[in-house]
Amino acid sequence: MKIIYHCYGGAHSSVTAAAVHLGWLPTDRLPEKEELKQIPYFDRPVAKDHGHIRFMGRDEFGNDIYIASRRNESRVFENMLRGLMEIYRLPEQEFAIIDVMPYVNWKMVLGGFTSRRMGLTWPGRSIIIKGVRYSYWQIVSLVQRVKVMTASGNRRIKM
């Protein structure tokens, strides 16, 4: 199965969710600054990378985990992928498309803008990390729901 976490820029919330899913981040405590910085693609993609679907890793159940960025067009992105799945006759249970944007807070937005758009990495990244830590348990909860739902065969995930 392929699980795609998507958000605005594919740099923070989706990357964090994918890292939690892959067990790279703890689920019993808040992650440290350095742990977040070490995640591949965390606070790295820039505007020209938007749109790409990137492979992050394979989880313990053999599911491939991907991240994607789609600016503010989550409905367009999801509709397009579901449409392409129909065209290529791919079973719906083979894919889970998860929107992580509802868990993005203003600190992540501000930090992301400062770091990625304005290029001020140092101040932006510290604001983002505060934001990620603020929403961390919500993201962990989302990932756990995704894991339960994909494991139990209930593929229609509506978050």
Partner 1 sequence: MKVFFLCRTGRHTSLLAAALYLGLLKKKPGSNEDMHSNDIFGLHGFDANYCRDDGRPFFVGADRDDTEVYTIGVRNVGPIMAKAANDFISLVGTKKGEWCVIDTSPVTSRWTSAGLCLKKMRLYSLARFFFYLGARRELPFLLKLVEENRKMSFHSKSA
The binding site for partner 1 (CB under 8 A) comprises: 2, 50-53, 66, 68-71, 73, 75-85, 87-88, 90
Query: Please, which residue, 88 or 122, has the CB nearer to partner 1?
Result: 88
Exposed, middle or buried by CB within 10 Å (0-12, 13-18, 19+), for 111?
buried
Please, are residues 159 and 142 in contact by the beta-carbon 8 Å criterion? yes
b/e string for 17-37 if b means 16 or more Cβ within 10 A? Answer: bbbbbbebbeeeeebeeeebe
Q: Residue 88: CB partners within 8 Å, gap ≥ 6? A: none
Write down the least CB distance from residue 84 to partner 1, Å.
6
Give dist(CA 89, CA 73) in Å, integer.
24
Write down the least CB distance from residue 64 to partner 1, Å.
9
Query: Please, which residue, 28 or 87, has the CB nearer to partner 1?
Result: 87
Beta bridge partner(s), residue 65: 3, 57
Query: Please, which residue, 24 or 77, has the CB nearer to partner 1?
Result: 77
Write down the least CB distance from residue 15 to partner 1, Å.
16
Query: Please, which residue, 18 or 68, has the CB nearer to partner 1?
Result: 68
Write down the least CB distance from residue 93 to partner 1, Å.
14
Write down the least CB distance from residue 36 to partner 1, Å.
25
- What's the number of CA atoms in the CB half-sphere (13 Å) around residue 93? 7
Query: Please, which residue, 8 or 103, has the CB nearer to partner 1?
Result: 8
In 3D, which of 5, 4, 3 has the Cα closest to residue 103? 5
